[in-house]
Amino acid sequence: MFEEFWDMGLPAFTGLDQLRQDLNTLMGLPDGQNFFRSAAASGFPLVNVGETDQEVHVYALAPGLEAKDLDISLQGNRLNIHGTRQTEANNDKANRERNWYRQERFTGEFSKMVSLPESIDSENVEAKAENGVIHIKLPKSAETQPRKITVKAE
Amino acid sequence: MSATKQDMDVRNQTAPTERSANAAPFLTPVVDLYEDGDGITLTADMPGVSSDDLDIELQNQELVIEGPIGIDMPDNLTAWSADIRGSRYRRTFTVGQDLDADNIEATMNLGVLTVRLPKKAASRTRRIEVK
């Protein structure tokens, strides 16, 4: 699960992150929203990135969307995730009869650039979605995979 | 449903580890919330939660939505960067007494939860035709 996994091996919250989180708590804002609007550390979709020896794994949290709704492109070790999500907030006709209390969910067009730890074999990228999480599996290019060196005994 | 919650509390108490002391708090799902003449509609982004794992409870005008993120990840994965850290969403809302608790409908689709809380008949907006 994310908690067990993402807590390991990553630096703890930096001072600014902590301050941001404290302010969010103070202001009653949910995660993924920023008290400092300009310091958007998140955006849509939120993305977690991990790697194994052979692959880079990207988990994009894109609720309401399927893999086919995303336009995924790769330039060097930068992955771009582009798409559009429409929500009821855009339903202008119906909204005449509605009183909105909260409108926190992302709506509209998005483009998110994700830095990847290694260069990728762009021919064999796979993406699949489950429950609004798009899992993008990117095999590392041959030269960046660790090579096992056999030491021969004399 | 409340049994699940109790089980969780008990587990947290009986297995105090360093990790649980530092464990990330619940993730707060972002929501859209509007009212119309017939009721209230709540939409929550809860990516990674399946409809089977979702927990919705209404008690004493308090609506709780909760669910774990269940994602299959390779065992030997190491983290590179993370926008979110946590494995469970939870958020609580206070709702009015004029809602019909017996007829709440919830659907979960592609990680988006939609809850429709209808108003009791007496509280619905009646449209008046002006002649």
This model of the complex carries an ipTM of 0.76
CB < 8 Å from B in window 33-62 of A: 33, 41-42, 46-53, 55-57, 59, 61-62
Checking if the pLDDT of B119 tops 60, the result is yes
Checking if the pLDDT of A86 tops 60, the result is yes
Whole-angstrom distance, CA of residue B31 vs CA of residue A95: 16
Average pLDDT over every residue of B53-74: 92
Q: Which of the pair, A25 or B113, is modelled with greater confidence?
A: B113
Q: Position of tokens 């979605």?
A: A129
- The predicted-structure confidence for A18-64, as pLDDT tens digits, reads as follows 666 666 666 666 655 544 443 344 689 999 999 999 999 999 999 99
User: How large a percentage of chain B has pLDDT more than 90?
Assistant: 49
User: Which CATH code for domain B25-70+84-124?
Assistant: 2.60.40.790
Checking if the pLDDT of A2 tops 70, the result is no
Q: Please list every residue in chain B whose beta carbon sits closer than 8 Å to the beta carbon of residue A140.
A: none
Q: Which of the pair, B130 or B4, is modelled with greater confidence?
A: B130
Q: Please list every residue in chain A whose beta carbon sits closer than 8 Å to the beta carbon of residue B109.
A: 64
User: How large a percentage of chain A has pLDDT more than 90?
Assistant: 45
**Topology (CATH level 3) of domain A44-141:** Immunoglobulin-like (2.60.40)
Phi, psi values for residue B37, rounded to 5°: -60, -30
Q: Please list every residue in chain B whose beta carbon sits closer than 8 Å to the beta carbon of residue A115.
A: 81
A109: β partners: A84
Average pLDDT over every residue of A70-78: 90
Q: What is the pLDDT of residue A105?
A: 94
Checking if the pLDDT of B47 tops 90, the result is yes
Q: Position of tokens 């006709």?
A: A93
Q: Quote the minimal CA–CA distance from A95 to chain B in Å.
A: 9
pLDDT band at B128 (very low <50, low <70, confident <90, very high): confident
Q: Position of tokens 């030269």?
A: A143
Nearest to A30 among B22, B29, B81 (CB): B29
User: How large a percentage of chain A has pLDDT more than 70?
Assistant: 72
- Mutation target to probe the A interface, by most A beta carbons within 10 A, among B18, B81, B93, B124 is B81
Burial class (CB in 10 A: 0-12, 13-18, 19+), B116: middle
Average pLDDT over every residue of A109-125: 89
Phi, psi values for residue B23, rounded to 5°: -55, 145
Q: What is the pLDDT of residue A31?
A: 55
Q: Count interface pairs A-B at CB distance under 8 A.
A: 174
Extents of the domains making up chain A = 44-141
pTM: 0.75
CB contact under 8 A, A1 and B71: yes
